[in-house]
Amino acid sequence: MNLAIFASGNGSNFAALVKAVEEKKIKAKFVVLVSDKPEAFVVERARKAKIAVILVKREDFVSRADFEAAIIQRLKNYKIDLIALAGFMRMLSPGFVKLYRKRIINIHPSLLPAFKGAHAIKDAIDAKVSFTGVTVHFVDNQMDHGPVILQKQIKIKRTDTLNALEKRIHALEHKLYPQAIKIIS
């Protein structure tokens, strides 16, 4: 299975997936990283791992359609079986999702449908819930929505700070994402 990762940040989930492939926990081949942030640390991680990088900055395009068309055009050079979103902080258009129907997955730091959006961990703490978690799901046309592949909950401790809970959530993400890819591959 040829895997493309879309990421815009640090790339800890990217690194966890690379490690899972190297350790043969999942049968996949990383063929490309797509990022809209040239300065993102994930780009350096990909280069160190000798994985091709496609950089497409949104501000270089007049519209989202043009931005996505550039990504699609560059992806044609690869035979992508699965796109894994790992902190790619952009909604994909219905046309993009349709083109890669049932071949785009996302990881989200909550038990969806709870706490959608970019601040899910903070939102869970602010809501004073007892549990939160991680969800891996297929992407559809709604934000943080689509058929769930895997979910796992994590207890929020009374002593948890945002930073402490983020670390535990990320550790869980790093285990769950490879498991989800294994399930669907």
CA dihedral 110, 112, 113, 115 (to 10 degrees): 10
Half-sphere exposure of 166 (CA within 13 A, CB side): 9
d(CA 38, CA 56): 8
Please identify which residue in the block is written with the tokens 């299975």: 1
Q: Long-range contact list for 154-157, CB < 8 A, 24+ apart?
A: 155/130, 155/131, 156/124, 156/125, 156/129, 156/130, 156/131, 156/132
Q: Is 108 a catalytic residue?
A: yes
Please identify which of the residues 108, 119, 137, 145 carries the catalytic annotation: 108
Count of CB atoms situated within 10 Å of the CB of 76:
9
d(CA 138, CA 135): 10
Active site residues: 108
